[in-house]
Structure 1
Amino acid sequence: ATPYNNKPQDVFALIKLFQIPTRSTLQTVDNLSLRFEELIKEYKEIERGRKKGKKDQKTLDREIKAIATKIRNLISPFMIRRSRIDLQSIEAYRKDLEAQGIIFPEVKDPELLEYEFDDLTELYKWTLNKIAPEDEKKGFIGTRYKPVAYLKNIDKYKKFITKQFGDERLFRQSQLNMASFMRRHLVRRFESSIKAFQISLDIMIKSSEIILGWFDKAGLVPIFKKGNIPDVDQVLGNGSLLSDEVKEYNEAQFEELRQKGYVFIPAKEISVNFRKDLIKDIELLKEIRDKWFGNGFPEDPKLKHFEKIVKELLQKDPKRKIVVFSEFADTANYLYEELKDRLRIFKYSAADATKENKRIIHEEFDASSKKRTNNYDILIATDAISEGFNLNRAGTIFNYDIPYNPTRVIQRVGRINRINKKVFDELYIYNFFPTETGEAETRIKQISTLKFAMINAVLGEDTKILTSDEELKSYFVERYKKAFKESEEKSWDVEYRDLLERIKATKPELLEKAREIPKRARIRRTTSKDKKGVIVFGKKGNNHIFKFANSPENSVALNGEEALELFKALPLEEPQAVSTDFENIYQSIKESLFLRKNRVPMNRGERDAVKVIDYLKENCPAHRDYLEDLRKVVVDYRALPEAYEKLIRNLDTNDTKIIESIKFLKKEIPHEYLESIISRANSISEQSETIIISEELI
């Protein structure tokens, strides 16, 4: 399933590990490099649209899914994937599972479990209104994250920003998006746990104060694409850059920061509103922090209700262990520290990924472990554990935060819904939601104002139509079902595999008759299809290809799904002799059946790498054989990984360093490696070609 969730460029990088792009044995496309370059370009356009906010999420999801489908079709020849639906739909597989006693548990629809805010209800309401009010112009502004938006004269800095950070409009929009993201992030931390919220407040106040310090003491506003900006006092030594001596003294330190990617804009170029809004943000965050933590850490109603609920669940079914997920490691750490003395609880996040902790989890929560221990009832984890672990001794998933991403819930459930060993007939998912004291007594149980505001702040527009708790429950159930359906959809080849397995078992003589069909057999169909023309099935070595043409000049490669749909026929359909139109089209397909469109315009990185190789070849004739092979792999086969191309571009070609650079190059990209690629390419070209069958479609 993984390739569906990765960028096209990442999938292509994986494919290049065992495919030579211009000599690809993948016959689902005429030119692998060209097709992936088109997909990468398409994906980048979608990303640009997303960053600029030009398209809604539904449109973006639809476009991304379309690209995923294209990738799936491209890589289908070596994509091995069987969903549970596939295993149930193919009779031979289903019977095999039954014979082994493998039965899938039933995953129940997500249930809502509620907690009350108790005495903190008004404080929760006040806080949410402060950081995420309905009017986005009020509340937390996020000034520290969008300094470019305050430039007095953006036109003056367009070229400068483009040079430093790439596309100026895209960078400016990304800063606005970051400010909006941090506002939502603060709400999500607030909803997750009081502790996570406290940590975020401290960090955001400190980072905003650092920017204010730079503005006031250095007369500068630092901009950095990612990472932390150092405190101005560390650079100035508690002085002020506004005095000439200090300015001269610290120039070396500033140059070091610039080398790391920092850009400094003079404060006089920034609107006065920047400082005002920055102070507003600091004062707002400090006001919130004082309200919550001015008198110490408050009692946590969410934690209290959580402890009560999990104790009840364990009392009801002591053997059913529980996996509690939080999006944030700070929340997981907090729950563990608060509950470790009262519950048998273990914790796992990215920071806990030691061999010892993995061993403990394996013995405690994996039903296939040879050694089973029983020292823990609850595992509190982040999504660092949602891949690669079997946790099927647990029968319950508990989402401590509002699960805004249904795909993540699917991955979490996948940890306890394992195929190798069933422990429970039913698996439960609980979502933890806030409610207001006294809400249950109302005549019609409406979503409280606070719950509505919090859910909408975390999840966005879709939830604005919800009015009752029943609708809220249905919303999360439907989101989960939709995501589950997409992750477990039936594979396109199931009906063909099932038919083949049934024929093997009940009518083996049909397979024998199929094998007796002479090669290059041709027939004309009597049932009309969606396409009119000629379809050919051929093989080269162990690789197959389907091609279709409706005229001698227009042949295209088809993937298996497209081809089998055209070949599909009912048993009673009678064949006919091909028409006079068949031969010309057939011959044109035959001539180009395994011809590859090998040439693809090189990108800038490849062209620059070739320039370096040519320079080395001209100036180091002793290494000509190696460099010619290197050039062939880059230019003719397009098979050198990008990391190696970058390494070539960065070589020092100065006369005094050139021999040393070639030695380094040969060590990093051995000649044997290049020869193996060339050898594979030659062997692919030399494989014998055979046409198996052809049909004329009407």
Structure 2
Amino acid sequence: HKSTLRNPKVKDLERYFNGLQSKLKGLDRQQDKEEYLSVVKENAEDIRKNVLKDLMVRRTRSVITGNYGDDLKKQNLKFPEVGDPEAIYYNFDEELDSIFTDTVDIIVNQFKYTRYTPLLYLERSLTTIEKLSQRNMQGFMRVLLLKRLESSIFAFNKSISRFIYSYEKFIEQYQKGNVYVSKKHINKIFEYLDNDDDESIQKLIDEDKATAYASEDFYDEFIVDLKADLKALKNIQGLWSNVKNDPKLEKFIELLKTDPVLKNNKLIVFTESKETAHHLEEMLNPVFDNKVRAFSSFSSPAERTEVIDNFDANARNQKDDIRIVISTEILAEGVNLHRSNVVINYDIPWNPTRMMQRVGRINRVDSKFDTIYTYNFFPAGQINENISLQEAAEAKIEAFIEMLGNDARLLTDEEIKSHDLYKRLTSRESIIGDDEDDPELRHLTFLRKLRDTDKELFNKIKKLPKKARSAKKYTEDNTSTVTFLRKGKVRKIFKTTRNAQGILSEEVDFDMAAEIFESDINTKREKIEPEFYKHLESNKKEFADVFIKESESLKPAGNRGNKAKLIQIIRAIEDSPEFTEIENDYLRGVLTLMRDGSLPKATIKKIIDGIKNENTPFKIYGKIKSGIPEQFFQSTFVTSSADTRGKREVILSEYLVRSS
């Protein structure tokens, strides 16, 4: 479980995350909602500060242009302009609108999804987790059908046919006295749900017969509801059996032929259904010179290479065999497609964040285009002269979300009010992200400019001696001290506070420390008072405690015998006054070897036998060091961002005097 993160607090990730999880123990998500959400928020901030900050760098368009604007100009680079997404409305005639509305009503209000929630009918009590899992499955399958309905008539009919086949086979087995319940692959099912792969879900559910029950183990309502569901599915199939036209597809073809932007550029079309993608490929190729390609999880590595060669401006072997690529979410991340400047969302991107990710494939700083275009399809029902197309589309979206109730969060992946969703899907802010400040980058940019424009001052700062200190007045209720400390590659900043118990220290991040250190050129330097040294010692102790906690976390669960004895001995002598940082680092290295299982039992036993009743720390240290050959450490002390070798050092401090 050893990580290479710099912060010793998260060297053992399993222990770290278990600690966060334990804070939620005993809290009910519903009854203790406010406290539960508060703890979740605290945990999220803890993870951001201690884990993600070292793993992720998020630079939005506004942050890059704000901090690197001059560099971009020098290199003749720029981001293309991004306008508001353009809404494309498609209408139903009166009959089709009635079919659509009736279908939604059946999916949401009549269909019970009994096939996918068999445990709810089992004649025994269920655990809370089992009940929740079954309810979630019901919600996920409901959302899946609604997404298919909005995606394309073709994909929806395919899904309904699979549902009917699955129900018929399930009922057939029930009547033979057998019920097979799939619990084994529930996580895999959710993964398929995320990828809108209902065909694989159906196959997994149908084939997994890990848990078998007898039909009589279930309440009588089970078979009644199964048959009612099958009847509802066949009713839906009957509603759509005579529908031959597809107004959404017809609108798309018309637009591709007439819109000036779409006629003359490479296009990237996103859909949440791979069946929709491949159906569109089949329908569009005869109309557009066979230059349309579908890309999904069905596609091969060779097909991926073909897409990159046709759409990545940095591809070595650029080609023009494809003008329109139709893809599932599989192309929304990790590739550059900036030979195009158009993204079309054929399905409603229910989660606006996905829209940003999709447009991010073409919104590149080295794009040759001046403008990025986004088109979003919306169903607007039947033509009504009394309301606008926008109002009709908003009403459809609102109906979807309101009818789903609590399951709406499964559709949007976040809490979004129905009247806000349309607004977000037609706003450029959802594409480029909110304008935000990055304090860390802002301060680093300031230092970079200082380096380039005032080399003398920059070198003076670089040559500041260790333990440098200063003082200034600061707007706080009590005096405090900010200290920057280092040990190996671990760097931390602590700030003191005062309460009834005395002086306390807490870690602060770079952003907060930089804000505190930042001073006007005319800021007066204050006198450093004796109180400063108490604050400094508190910060130093807090920094030292980080490494003590780390060594404590090295104890494996269930240590017994000589290994446990040696760990106990090392902890007893570690940080003895006569030890330098060299001795302490060595002992922590021994703890690491034992945690990783790198020390043979015979070696540990020999050390314990050699120590016997010895109680002098230096002599115990000598016995340990002589008993462990140097080669044991050669593969352990690999330099990394988590390397803590070296002595603890105070780099600089600032004493903050309370303003009177």
| Fold agreement, TM-score > 0.5 | yes
Residues 1:303 and 1:317: Cα distance change in structure 2 (over 3 Å): closer
Counterpart in the other structure of 2:342 = 396
1:572 to 503, 522, 532: 522
User: 1:89 aligned to 2:66?
Assistant: yes
Counterpart in the other structure of 1:437 = 382
Q: 2:21, 2:271 → 1: CA distance?
A: 30
Residues 1:140 and 1:342: Cα distance change in structure 2 (over 3 Å): same
Counterpart in the other structure of 2:603 = none
Q: 2:450, 2:56 → 1: CA distance?
A: 24
Residues 1:417 and 1:45: Cα distance change in structure 2 (over 3 Å): farther
Counterpart in the other structure of 1:621 = none
**What amino acid sits opposite 1:696 in the alignment?**
Y
User: 1:106 aligned to 2:81?
Assistant: yes
Counterpart in the other structure of 1:560 = 510
1:673 is displaced (CA, Å) by 10
Q: Are 2:397 and 2:418, in contact at CA under 8 Å, matched by a contact in 1?
A: no
Residues 1:683 and 1:264: Cα distance change in structure 2 (over 3 Å): closer
Counterpart in the other structure of 1:334 = 279
1:222 to 165, 181, 191: 181
Counterpart in the other structure of 2:198 = none
Q: Are 1:323 and 1:397, in contact at CA under 8 Å, matched by a contact in 2?
A: yes
Counterpart in the other structure of 1:496 = 443
Q: 1:444, 1:412 → 2: CA distance?
A: 25
1:681 is displaced (CA, Å) by 9.5
Query: C-alpha offsets along residues 423-475 of structure 1, whole Å, 9 cap, x if unaligned?
Result: 22111111101123332454897427656534655794878764xxxx87524
Counterpart in the other structure of 1:647 = none
**What amino acid sits opposite 2:46 in the alignment?**
K
Deviates more, 1:359-368 or 1:540-549: 540-549
Counterpart in the other structure of 1:127 = 103
**Percent identity at matched positions?**
26
Report 1:666-681 matches (<5 A).
676-678=635-637
Q: Are 1:83 and 1:490, in contact at CA under 8 Å, matched by a contact in 2?
A: no
User: 1:147 aligned to 2:118?
Assistant: yes
Q: 1:304, 1:326 → 2: CA distance?
A: 16
Counterpart in the other structure of 2:371 = 426
1:316 is displaced (CA, Å) by 4.7
Q: 1:322, 1:61 → 2: CA distance?
A: 42
Query: C-alpha offsets along residues 40-60 of structure 1, whole Å, 9 cap, x if unaligned?
Result: 55469889999x77799x999
Residues 1:107 and 1:444: Cα distance change in structure 2 (over 3 Å): closer
SS in 2 for 1:694: strand
Q: Are 1:214 and 1:222, in contact at CA under 8 Å, matched by a contact in 2?
A: no
Q: 1:213, 1:108 → 2: CA distance?
A: 55
Report 1:167-186 matches (<5 A).
168-186=127-145
**What amino acid sits opposite 1:280 in the alignment?**
A
1:325 to 270, 294, 301: 270
1:228 is displaced (CA, Å) by 13
Q: Are 1:74 and 1:559, in contact at CA under 8 Å, matched by a contact in 2?
A: no
Report 1:527-538 matches (<5 A).
527-529=474-476, 532-538=479-485
1:289 is displaced (CA, Å) by 1.1
Q: 1:371, 1:443 → 2: CA distance?
A: 47
Deviates more, 1:391-400 or 1:515-524: 515-524
Counterpart in the other structure of 2:535 = 585
Query: Over aligned residue pairs, what C-alpha RMSD do you find?
Result: 4.2
Q: 1:301, 1:440 → 2: CA distance?
A: 18
Residues 1:690 and 1:445: Cα distance change in structure 2 (over 3 Å): closer
Q: Are 1:456 and 1:464, in contact at CA under 8 Å, matched by a contact in 2?
A: no
1:535 is displaced (CA, Å) by 1.9
Q: Are 2:86 and 2:374, in contact at CA under 8 Å, matched by a contact in 1?
A: yes
SS in 1 for 2:136: helix
SS in 1 for 2:493: strand
Q: 2:63, 2:424 → 1: CA distance?
A: 27
Extract unaligned runs of 5+ from structure 1: 1-12, 20-24, 133-137, 159-167, 230-256, 616-628, 641-670
Residues 1:636 and 1:442: Cα distance change in structure 2 (over 3 Å): closer
1:335 is displaced (CA, Å) by 0.9
SS in 2 for 1:431: strand
Q: Are 2:296 and 2:328, in contact at CA under 8 Å, matched by a contact in 1?
A: yes
Residues 1:276 and 1:174: Cα distance change in structure 2 (over 3 Å): same
Counterpart in the other structure of 2:456 = 509
Q: 1:125, 1:151 → 2: CA distance?
A: 33
Aligned pair count? 570
Counterpart in the other structure of 2:221 = 273
Query: C-alpha offsets along residues 354-405 of structure 1, whole Å, 9 cap, x if unaligned?
Result: 1x22232122212223443223221100111112221112111111111101
2:426 to 466, 471, 477: 477
1:598 to 516, 541, 550: 550
Q: Are 1:365 and 1:393, in contact at CA under 8 Å, matched by a contact in 2?
A: yes
Residues 1:534 and 1:35: Cα distance change in structure 2 (over 3 Å): farther
**What amino acid sits opposite 1:598 in the alignment?**
E
Extract unaligned runs of 5+ from structure 2: 189-204, 410-414, 565-587, 600-629
**What amino acid sits opposite 1:284 in the alignment?**
A
Q: 1:88, 1:637 → 2: CA distance?
A: 46
Report 1:153-168 matches (<5 A).
153-154=124-125, 158=126, 168=127
User: 1:262 aligned to 2:233?
Assistant: no
Query: C-alpha offsets along residues 536-575 of structure 1, whole Å, 9 cap, x if unaligned?
Result: 1233344432223346863333321232222222222212
1:65 is displaced (CA, Å) by 6.7
Q: 2:631, 2:296 → 1: CA distance?
A: 42
Q: 1:696, 1:685 → 2: CA distance?
A: 27
Residues 1:209 and 1:47: Cα distance change in structure 2 (over 3 Å): farther
Q: 1:369, 1:681 → 2: CA distance?
A: 34
**What amino acid sits opposite 1:525 in the alignment?**
K
SS in 2 for 1:368: coil
Q: 2:4, 2:329 → 1: CA distance?
A: 31
Q: Are 1:201 and 1:285, in contact at CA under 8 Å, matched by a contact in 2?
A: yes
User: 1:525 aligned to 2:438?
Assistant: no
1:182 is displaced (CA, Å) by 0.9
Residues 1:125 and 1:180: Cα distance change in structure 2 (over 3 Å): same
Q: Are 1:89 and 1:498, in contact at CA under 8 Å, matched by a contact in 2?
A: no
Report 1:236-255 matches (<5 A).
none
**What amino acid sits opposite 2:98 in the alignment?**
E
Counterpart in the other structure of 2:202 = none
Counterpart in the other structure of 2:615 = none
Query: C-alpha offsets along residues 59-85 of structure 1, whole Å, 9 cap, x if unaligned?
Result: 999986765543332243565443322
SS in 2 for 1:203: helix
Counterpart in the other structure of 1:18 = 4
SS in 1 for 2:4: coil
